Amino acid sequence: MKLVKMKSIFLLFIAAMLLLAGCSLSSNESGTDTTKDGKVKLRFATWDVGDDVDLQQGMIDKFNESHENIEVVLEAYGSEYDTKITAGMGAKDAPDIMYMWNYPTYKDALEPLDSYIEKEGAEYKDNFYETLWNYNSADDQILGLPVGYTTHVVYYNKALFDEAGVEYPQAGWTWEDLQATAKKLANKETKVSGFAFSGKPDPYDFEMFLWGNNASYVDEEGNLKGNLDSKESVEVFEMFQNMAKDGYAITTEGSGATEMKSGKVAMFVYGAWGLNPLKEAGIDYGVVELPKFKNGQSVSILSSSGISISKNSKHKEEAFEFIKFWTGEEANKARIDFELPVLKSVVESEKLEEDEMKSVFYSMLEKSEGYTPASFIVEDWSQVSDNLNYVFESIFNPSTLMDPKEALKSAAE
């Protein structure tokens, strides 16, 4: 099977740099020790750009003003984030604090936070949604405090539903319901499709559909065979392929958001990233929980971000003081227009569980506890992901439409 090479090469580079960093963690430490006026200096790396960085700098200024002995300096890496973080780790000059998502890759260079969290007490930890800890851990160690997250939901265009005289979907619906609804909404004359999904789905995201049908890519030992190619897994791929083959659904380059903005798609699956863009585009839309399979349940993958401490930082206690602030109530509220809060207390105080849109993401969050993505289990996930990308495209590409059973069997071997 032909692999997409670039991602694998980059991950190998990361692994090599982290190995070099790991070999010298005991004898070298990162960061400048203090500022000229004797304050502890902490470097904080963010992947954000634009307005997000302005917001972050304002929050950092507030922290610095309230801490006489600590000065946090923001380093905005943007699209070069992974490259710069990896280079810093390899050169033993990683930022003290950094945003994090790919814990399995960077785990050896990150400070375990379990003991720090334990000192804060059970009430502190319990204020975070339980599901989030699984996505900010590796090898049974917590390596980051949750900062933001999104689950996935179904977005639907209310105007298209109204025009077709179709009732809006409700929580508890099934994939059979979605298909029946999509058929009613599809209109060849107006070129409206009832449902859209990516023809090149991200393997990380797509696994949630398998979970919903009591399947997964791998078992606890990381074995693909008997899992990726299981009967339940094949059923999921056949369902999506058949929706496109039958003409009431389309495959898209992205999630389907662009097509909904143009008024040509009635439903698609996406995270909270779609809320503001669709609103700004003037689309009258709603969101609903993901459908469930006959013998399954509604469950979503999480896209989660955290904040971590470099294992070789000289000032870990001060760094933890900052990441506590960064994930506290004030910071959660400050970022509320950019990402979903991770603290139960903020969700309650801001009445987000009563919010017509955002409450659905929290409902999906609670339903999705206890699932671990294959990327956290498989050691060579980058290569597996590349293989799955190729297989998924061959299944959903209109010019190939490979038989899912045969394609998945080949991939599992």
> Out of 3.40.190.10, 1.10.287.620, 3.40.50.880, 3.30.930.10, which CATH number does the structure's domain 5-148+304-354 have?
3.40.190.10
pTM of the model: 0.90
Share of the chain above pLDDT 90, in %: 89
Q: 257 φ, ψ to 5°?
A: -60, -40
Q: How many Cα atoms within 13 Å fall on the side-chain side of residue 69?
A: 5
Q: Residue 259: its pLDDT value, please?
A: 97
Distance between CA atoms of 381 and 210, rounded to whole angstroms?
17
Confidence bin at 38 (pLDDT 50/70/90): confident
Name the more confident of 382 and 8.
Answer: 382
Name the more confident of 23 and 266.
Answer: 266
Q: Residue 10: its pLDDT value, please?
A: 46
Q: Residue 26: its pLDDT value, please?
A: 40
pLDDT tens string 129-180: 999 999 999 999 999 999 999 999 999 999 999 999 999 999 999 999 999 9
Q: Residue 33: its pLDDT value, please?
A: 66
Distance between CA atoms of 67 and 147, rounded to whole angstroms?
21
User: Once rounded to an integer, what is the mean pLDDT over residues 265-292?
Assistant: 98
pLDDT tens string 3-36: 333 344 444 445 555 544 444 444 344 445 677 7
User: Once rounded to an integer, what is the mean pLDDT over residues 380-386?
Assistant: 94
Neighbours of 255 (CB within 10 A): 23
Distance between CA atoms of 353 and 339, rounded to whole angstroms?
15
How far, CA to CA in Å, does 60 sit from each of 34, 66, 69, 197?
17, 10, 14, 39
Q: Residue 7: its pLDDT value, please?
A: 42
* CA nearest neighbour of 228 among 250, 249, 197, 207: 207
- Give the CATH number of domain 153-301+379-412: 3.40.190.10
**Is the CA virtual torsion 82, 86, 88, 89 positive or negative?**
positive
Q: Residue 256: its pLDDT value, please?
A: 96
Q: Residue 8: its pLDDT value, please?
A: 45
Would strands 267-270 and 153-157 be described as parallel, antiparallel, or unpaired? Answer: antiparallel
Q: 292 φ, ψ to 5°?
A: -120, 155
Answer whether 5-148+304-354 and 153-301+379-412 agree in fold.
yes
Q: Residue 144: its pLDDT value, please?
A: 99
Share of the chain above pLDDT 70, in %: 92
Distance between CA atoms of 172 and 258, rounded to whole angstroms?
27
Would strands 141-142 and 137-138 be described as parallel, antiparallel, or unpaired? Answer: antiparallel
Distance between CA atoms of 250 and 243, rounded to whole angstroms?
8
Q: State yes or no: pLDDT of 61 exceeds 60.
A: yes
Domain boundaries, the chain: 5-148+304-354, 153-301+379-412
Distance between CA atoms of 329 and 344, rounded to whole angstroms?
10
Q: Residue 403: its pLDDT value, please?
A: 98
Q: In what order do the strands lie in the sheet with 249-252?
A: 249-252, 195-198, 267-270, 153-157, 285-288
Distance between CA atoms of 1 and 21, rounded to whole angstroms?
33
Neighbours of 153 (CB within 10 A): 24
Residues ≥6 apart with Cβ < 8 Å to 300:
151, 152, 153, 208, 290, 364, 365, 367, 368
pLDDT tens string 67-105: 999 999 999 999 999 999 999 999 989 999 999 999 999
Q: Residue 32: its pLDDT value, please?
A: 52
User: Once rounded to an integer, what is the mean pLDDT over residues 316-344?
Assistant: 97
- With contact defined as beta carbons under 8 Å apart, do 112 and 133 qualify? no
Distance between CA atoms of 28 and 30, rounded to whole angstroms?
7
DSSP SS3 for 79: helix
User: Once rounded to an integer, what is the mean pLDDT over residues 280-297?
Assistant: 97
Distance between CA atoms of 241 and 237, rounded to whole angstroms?
6
Orientation of helix 381-396 relative to helix 404-412, angle to 10°: 160
